[in-house]
Structure 1
Amino acid sequence: MSVAETQENSSEVSQLSTSEEVGSKEDQPTLVHPWPYLEEFFEMVGCKNNSFRMRCKLCAPKYHELMAFKNSPSNLKKHIEKKHPTRLERCTQLTSASLKRKSSTEGSLAPPSKQTKLWETQRVSQASVDKVVLKFIVQGLHPPHVVQQQGFIDLVQHLRPNTSVMTRNTVVNKVTKASIEMRRKLKAALSEIEFIATTTDCWTAHRRSFIGVTAHWFNPQTLQRSCAALACKQLKGSHTFSALAGALNDIHTEFNIREKIVRTTTDNGSNFLKAFRIYGQTDENNNPEPVGESDGEEDDGGQNDNDDEEESVEGVEFVDAGALLDEDDYLEYQLPKHHRCACHLLNLVSTVDALKAEVNPLYKRVSRSTFAKCSSLWNKSSRSTTASELIEDHCKLQFLRPVATRWNSLFSAVERIVRVM
């Protein structure tokens, strides 16, 4: 064999070996880091048995290889604690962030089929449906006939198929029974309380008059403040002081708290003031002068009993009982001590002071002119739908009309006009 042929064969062998090496490198699988959040500190070198071979980047230029189990990077963390303690905090932050990310991802990727199955396994009884419907009517102040509306029936049956909806009469009966049970529990709770404060008010709505009473007390064991509505019922007839006193006395007697009330707070209406002035307790009638106390004289052994009896008979004044029976019996009702509402009193004081400012002629002229223009706007917007629509189109809101019985209504109405201007 010639030299030329030998060189040619050797070159072919070298090219073949080189191509085989390149092919073997391309066939090697790419190593995936088992803990990507630690790539800042460790590089994966390979695998050995059930462990990963990791190279520490922080030890460079020195080559330091570690072994870490496939199910835990604890060896890597120990290495950082011992060799690189300054980077331990950063490693802990990366680990906690990775755990949070993993938990949120697992929660979002939970299979919906399992959730559906869990929901479908819950059974709702007819009694629980009736209870929820009753709660909806009571808390929302809805009329009982709402259960007869087809839309409401479709809603309940869509949420829970094969469920019957109560009739109006059933709702009324259940509300009545619930009211009786609530009163019983409230009376039992108030029977254990020694001191109670109440508030009351009277108002008119939809051409009917109502009176409301609330009770407030402290729990003697926990000192927790509690409150409850005792009554909200219609008050027929004129709102005279005697009518208010009778209604309050009946409510206090019904709950057996007449002797426990320390104060009743009302507004400064003349009818309430007169009712408590006549029927209410005062410091004078709550602390009567002692009767029958000894005047310091020694007992005479009963020798002067006959003389005292004669003197007492002579001092008796006879009065016609018929005249007393014809007069109003102011002891018919018994009300507790009265307390005026401080907020309402301050409102009245400020109102009176504002009216006194009109003593100044200049201020009076400007004030009356301004409020006359405001009244014109209020009257026009409330009486004309066309004017109301124009105001809403241009101002994007409506004017508020002041009401005499609402304390801040005048301020709110004027503030709305100023805002539009």
Structure 2
Amino acid sequence: MSFQGYLRSRVLTQSLFDQYIVEYLCKGCLPVYHTERREFRKFVSRLCPTMKVGTRKYYRKKIADGFLQQKAHLKKKLADALWMCSTADAWSCRRKSFIGVTIIHWISPDLSRQSACLAVRRVVCTCNYEIIGKLLEAINEEFEITTKLTCTITDNGNNFIKSFKVFGTKNDESQERAPIQSVDLSNYQTDNSHFPQAKPRSMSSQVFRHQTNNYLNEESITDILSDIKSEFHESSEEDGLDDAEYADLVPGIRKIGADNGTKDKKQFVQDGKPDEGAVNFLPLTDILKKKASSRTIYCFPKHRRCACHLLSLVAKKDIFVGLDASLKNLMDSTEKKLLALWSKQNRSSKAADAIYASLDGLFVINNKTRWNSYFDALVRVRHFLNTKKADLKKLFTHFKIDYFRPAEEEFIKEYVKVMRPISEALIVLQADIKVNVECR
């Protein structure tokens, strides 16, 4: 028994060492100049004395090459997928706007759900619906997934909604799949009485099937149709009218070549007025030079609004529509006292220390854009009401804030009890892999 091959596979080479550093920088979202810090180089020299740390420029090139490799690998995976669903979002940070197709989902051959981040792009100008349409289509074409997307999920922002309303496919489920029409041909006869009467319109493409549900080939369909006596017939060249006879029958049509003599055939306007019997020709170059409409440029899949965002709006806005006046006043008075207490904790470190000393913890401060944080903040308040009510009263007195009335305490407890299912549903919908609820 020899361990020579095993030991050789575990030898750390310089190329493998550089690959580990690139992975360390990318996974940790660290700046490239981190490799030139004295502490990092000292740590590496102690850990691997035989290895050398490259320069910032070297690792920047390695990261760029690795990005191209990962992108090619992702495009190969997407090429094997048949259908996929994408999500898009836009945000701003540090006075800069961004848009990204954050995650795209597809089913792999082993029936497992796969996802990946496609792109994050900088938005230089106003993030309106036309800019969104241009960027999203560019990303879809870059990864060659335009024809494979079944839908794109976004939030309820006006810019996204208008973009998909203008450029997207209508969400008409009745037109998604046309029903397959079948005709029973088992008792086929050449008599016209066994077939429906012909309608004065072009025959639409139909799918003929036997009772065994096997498709007919092209020759058999041609034979069947040739035996049917149609009410319509095509005129042959012999019984048709030539151009001269047709011009005699239809007034306003000039004969070309017969009575024009040597006149120019392109002369259709006389004395500045168009000839009534002449055909108006439109130059193709003029049509091509016209500025194309935005409706014909971008092609989007069907639009689905994020279920998490919709449910958050229901919990944040819709439940208060048509609310009883007394209940609304109770909610406003309770929230006013909570906001006063939360602002004390946010604005003063001394107040935060006093809250922590009295309650052995701090309040959860809610985020205005996420309803879950507001629910978590009320859960924290309810916890202090159930466990440290006396200390909470002293804290209100210390900050000179009116304490909750009994009705307000009951409102906080009931609100947490009623809204907990919505909070739990949002947690389920926000999952990445273990979720089977469709976003509509």
Cα drift, residue 249 of structure 1 = 0.5
- Whether 1:411 and 2:369 are equivalent positions in the alignment is no
Aligned to 1:226, the other structure's residue is in SS state strand
Q: State the TM-score, normalizing by the size of structure 1.
A: 0.61
- After superposition, the Cα gap between the structure-2 partners of 1:162 and 1:277, relative to the gap in structure 1 and judged at 3 Å, is same
Query: Within 1, Cα distance between the matches of 2:171 and 2:319?
Result: 35
| Larger of the two Rg values belongs to structure | 1
- State the aligned residue count: 296
Distance in 2 (alpha carbons) for counterparts of 1:142 and 1:148: 12
Match of residue 346 from structure 1 = 311
Alignment of 1:19-418 (within 5 A): 123-213=11-101, 214-219=103-108, 221-282=109-170, 293=202, 297-301=232-236, 303=240, 329-356=294-321, 359-418=323-382
Alignment check: 8 A CA contact 2:363 2:380 kept: yes
Once the two structures are superposed, what CA deviation does each residue of 1:76-106 show, in whole Å capped at 9, x if it has no partner? Answer: xxxxxxxxxxxxxxxxxxxxxxxxxxxxxxx
Deviation of 1:255 (Å): 0.6
More contact order relative to length (CA 8 Å, sep ≥ 6): 2
How far residue 355 of structure 1 moved from its aligned partner, in angstroms, is 1.8
Query: What is the CA deviation profile of residues 342-366 of structure 1, one whole-angstrom value per residue up to 9, with x for unaligned ones?
Result: 2222222233333225x32211211
Instruction: Name the SS for the 1:223 alignment partner.
Output: coil
Read off the aligned partner of 1:356 and give its amino acid letter: V
- The alpha carbon displacement at 1:267 in A equals 1.6
Relative to 1, partners in 2 of residues 1:327 and 1:287: Cα closer, same or farther, differing over 3 Å? farther
Query: 1:154, CA displacement in angstroms?
Result: 1.9
Tell me the CA shift for residue 183 of structure 1: 0.8
Shift in Å at residue 174 of structure 1? 1.0
User: Which segment drifts farther, 344-353 or 146-155?
Assistant: 344-353
Note closer, same or farther for the CA distance 1:369–1:318 as it changes in structure 2 (3 Å cut). Answer: farther
CA distance, structure 2, for counterparts of residue 133 and residue 265 of structure 1:
36
CA distance in 2, matches of 1:189, 1:418: 49
Could you tell me which amino acid in structure 1 is paired with residue 107 of structure 2?
F
Change beyond 3 A, Cα 1:395–1:233? farther
Aligned-residue sequence identity (percent) comes to 29
Name 2:384's counterpart in structure 1: 420
Segments ≥4 residues shifted beyond 4 Å: 283-288, 304-308, 310-314, 316-319, 324-328
Question: How far does the alpha carbon of each residue in 1:195-239 deviate from its partner, in whole angstroms, 9 at most, with x for none?
Answer: 1211111222333222221221122x4233222111123223322
2-side partners of 1:360 and 1:283: how far apart?
36
Helix, strand or coil at the partner of 1:157: helix
> CA–CA distance in 2 between the matches of 1:189 and 1:327?
34
Flag the 1:389–1:326 CA change in 2: closer, same or farther, 3 A: farther
* Per-residue deviation, residues 21-59 of structure 1 (Å, max 9, x unmatched): xxxxxxxxxxxxxxxxxxxxxxxxxxxxxxxxxxxxxxx
User: What is the alpha-carbon root mean square deviation over aligned residues?
Assistant: 3.7
The residue number in structure 1 matching 2:223 is none
Distance 1:304 1:342 in 2: 65
Which is helix-richer, 1 or 2? 1
SS in 1 for 2:294: coil
TM-score (norm 2): 0.59
